[in-house]
Amino acid sequence: MDPELRLIWIYCVIDEAIRSISENKRVRQRGLSPILTDAEVLTILIWGEMMQLPSDAAIWRRAVTDLKAWFPHIGTEWNFVRRGTNLIHVKKQIQERLFGSSADWNAFDGLPLPVCKNARARRDKRFQGEAAWSYCAAKDERYYGFKAGFLMNSHNEIFRYWIGPANVDEREMLLCTAVGMSGLLLADKGLISIALEGQLADEGICLTVPYRKNMPDDRPRWVLRQAMRLRRRIETAFSSLVQWFGITRTNGRDFWRWSARILRKILAYNLLLRFERDFASV
């Protein structure tokens, strides 16, 4: 796919989203508007994530080399990195405006987000009082950091997420993220709970999870197999976020900057999916 076409498409989508959010009014109430617009800053950052660049500084250096003709007012590295982090609220609004739940089905799962190696955890001074120890069943190991709960629609887009300490129960994450939803919601065995199913049913959500072998289950086997086949697509989404976008390798000195980069990677993943879907036949 033509990289210039992708860059133009990203800018148009981001710029239109910001205009609709601000209703064409000034975002900043004081001072002069910067020459490099917010849409241009976010476009460069998302472009950098799609190029698998590891940090804000690396994105700025690559953009100065490759995108100077497109963004001649990119400015200094310090100012660019600072603005990219400060736009976290704009990123959240873009994420909410562009991506939402599906009418047919949605899926939920949790993803461990370690902040450092286990050997370093006890002397790491970042995230004190915020990060926690927990156990990752997929890797059969303990880790130190956070856990994210993700909701994915039937287009494989992550439309809602919640980040908390690693020892938070995924049931609590689901209740926080599923507010205002309805319809079929697919999840794994970790969310087996009669109380949780009842709470979600009151909100119009039909939680579907596979039962354990020692639990009675009178649901049709083919229905359950189909549901779990669809749910596994969120694991494919996690693979893309981890391997291509490096969501588990995100560095940060505090939770605010760290979570801003997590959100940027989710937004880049979603936009890349939509771009490939829109131009699949081109």
Long-range contacts of 201-207 (CB under 8 A, 24+ apart): 203/178, 203/179, 205/178, 205/181
Asked if residue 264 belongs to a domain, the reply is: no
pLDDT value of position 254? 85
Q: Note whether 116 and 196 are same-domain residues.
A: yes
Which residue, 36, 68, 97, sits at the end of a domain? 97
Q: What is the CATH number of the domain that holds 133?
A: 3.30.420
Q: Note whether 122 and 172 are same-domain residues.
A: yes
Q: Note whether 177 and 110 are same-domain residues.
A: yes
Asked if residue 166 belongs to a domain, the reply is: yes
pLDDT value of position 69? 92
Average pLDDT over residues 220-244: 89
Asked if residue 80 belongs to a domain, the reply is: yes
Asked if residue 280 belongs to a domain, the reply is: no
Q: Is the pTM of this model over 0.85?
A: yes
Q: Note whether 150 and 108 are same-domain residues.
A: yes
pLDDT value of position 193? 86
Q: Note whether 174 and 205 are same-domain residues.
A: yes
Q: Note whether 132 and 65 are same-domain residues.
A: no
Asked if residue 274 belongs to a domain, the reply is: no
Q: Note whether 42 and 174 are same-domain residues.
A: no
Q: Note whether 82 and 179 are same-domain residues.
A: no
CA angle 254, 259, 260 (to 5 degrees): 105
Q: How confident is the model at residue 217 (pLDDT cuts 50, 70, 90)?
A: confident
Asked if residue 63 belongs to a domain, the reply is: yes
Q: Note whether 81 and 110 are same-domain residues.
A: no
Q: Note whether 187 and 132 are same-domain residues.
A: yes
Asked if residue 235 belongs to a domain, the reply is: yes
Spatial separation of the C-alpha atoms in residues 250 and 257, rounded to whole Å: 10
Least confident of 60-64, 101-105, 134-138, 221-225: 221-225
Residue 29 has pLDDT above 60, yes or no: no
pLDDT above 90: percentage of residues in the chain: 58
pLDDT value of position 28? 60
Give the model confidence (pLDDT) of 110-161 as tens digits: 999 998 888 888 888 888 888 999 998 878 889 999 999 999 999 999 999 9
Q: Note whether 87 and 122 are same-domain residues.
A: no
- Provide the domain limits for residue 76: 3-97
Asked if residue 273 belongs to a domain, the reply is: no
Which residue from 78, 79, 46, 77 is spatially nearest to 64, judged by alpha carbons? Answer: 77
Residue 109 has pLDDT above 80, yes or no: yes
Q: Which amino acid is at 258?
A: W
Average pLDDT of the residues of the chain: 89
pLDDT value of position 1? 61
Give the model confidence (pLDDT) of 163-208 as tens digits: 999 999 888 899 889 988 999 999 988 888 888 889 999 989 999 8
